[in-house]
Copies of this chain bind each other. A is one copy, B any other.
Amino acid sequence: MANVRVGMVGYKFMGKAHSNAYRALPMFFPDAASKPVMKVICGRDPVQLEQARTQFGWEQSVTDWRELVTRDDVDLIDINAPSDAHKEIALAAAANGKHIFCEKPLALSLKDSREMLEAAENAGVTHMVGFNYRFAPAVQLAKKLISEGRIGKIYHFRGVFLQDWIIDPNFPLVWRLQKEIAGSGSHGDLGAHVIDMARYLVGEFDEVIGMSETFVKQRPIASAMTGLSAKGEAGGELGDVSVDDATVFMARFEGGAMGSIEATRFAAGHRCTNAFEINGSKGSIKFDFERVNELQVYFTEDAEDVQGFRRVLATDPAHAYMDAWWPAGHTIGYEHTFTHEVLELMNALSEGRQPVPNFVDGVKCQEVLEAVDLSIAERRWVKLNEM
């Protein structure tokens, strides 16, 4: 089993999630084909960085990612800095022959994401993009049922990602609400996950048309920007919100299915409703991330007096990854999706193949995101092949 020495840029929400995955992998998946070594963590603020280093368990730290990407003792660059930094770091990592694990969205634009893919492919490095929700066992079960034809031909995909963390107009103007850093609002942050889920389960998009809205157009300027947990203060100076609060779009898939997708940060009562439903000719599937261990499944071929959605608790040995954790019925949570994601990365690195999802998926997701943006700007249906 080879060691993979990781250099990670970023130490906030995603940096913590990734660190945890690296720590958990050897304990729960001792048979992983490679083993991550938490070599170097990188961030700009030296004080916070050192705190993160010791807390998360990294061997060393550097404050300049330019140094990180050239180090001989690092095999893989893990990029989870704010979105506007992804491209430059990724290009430099590729140029230095480093493998790359990049959080979503891949970049601020489709053009940038394509450049990243091209750079990675030209450098011949391994590349992965962080669509972690694919790795929930319940989602893996959905994929399996569809792949085995047990849901039949797919007619409908209905996906939402509903949150409510900025519904208070006094919630401050954190970086995720600024276009120049975040690239996009709910659409790129939340919608990207739904798009990836749709691609994973239903297939490629054919055409889209969307609408979006910024309900609260100005917010107090944040004194400190810390992930999702900033508290707002009324009465302070206001700045313009430059991203969407909500984006809704319709889609047609190449396979003929109809899609309806919505991302919003203004759905009161929804902390993290990343949910979808798929209806096929032989059955249906429902998933809601707030109940990450569960999949609702319906089969048209069930006996006629007992037809109904089954609530499958995807914690049995029959379910992906669950043998590695706890006995049936003992649930797992959000962070475990990252451990499974890193497992895929480590296995791919050892097997000399690209992991899934990789930068191709990142680019294709970005194509859909921008096709939707274009459809909003021009108020018309946009074919994906226009992109």
Contact = CB atoms under 8 A, between A and B. Distances in A.
A250 interface: yes
A180 interface: no
Contact of A156 (B264, B327, B331): B264
B306 A297 contact: yes
A269 B284 contact: yes
Number of this chain's copies in the assembly equals: 4
Interface in A28-62: 30, 51, 54-57
Given A246-B258, A258-B248, A311-B309, A304 B316 contact: yes
A93 B270 CA distance: 49
Pick the most buried of A163, A315, A334: most chain B CB atoms within 10 A of its CB: A334
Interface residues of A, number: 100
A161 to B, nearest CB: 11
Pick the most buried of A141, A210, A309, A381: most chain B CB atoms within 10 A of its CB: A309
Contacts of A30: 51, 54-55
Contacts of A55: 26-27, 30
A66 B192 CA distance: 56
B228 A328 contact: yes
A199 interface: no
A326 B26 contact: no
A311 B310 CA distance: 6
A167 B300 contact: yes
Interface in A286-333: 289-293, 297-300, 302, 304-313, 315-319, 325-333
Closest 3 CB pairs of A and B: A271-B329, A272-B329, A269-B298
12 contacts: A13-B327, A23-B27, A27-B57, A229-B327, A248-B258, A266-B279, A269-B300, A271-B329, A305-B316, A305-B318, A307-B316, A308-B310
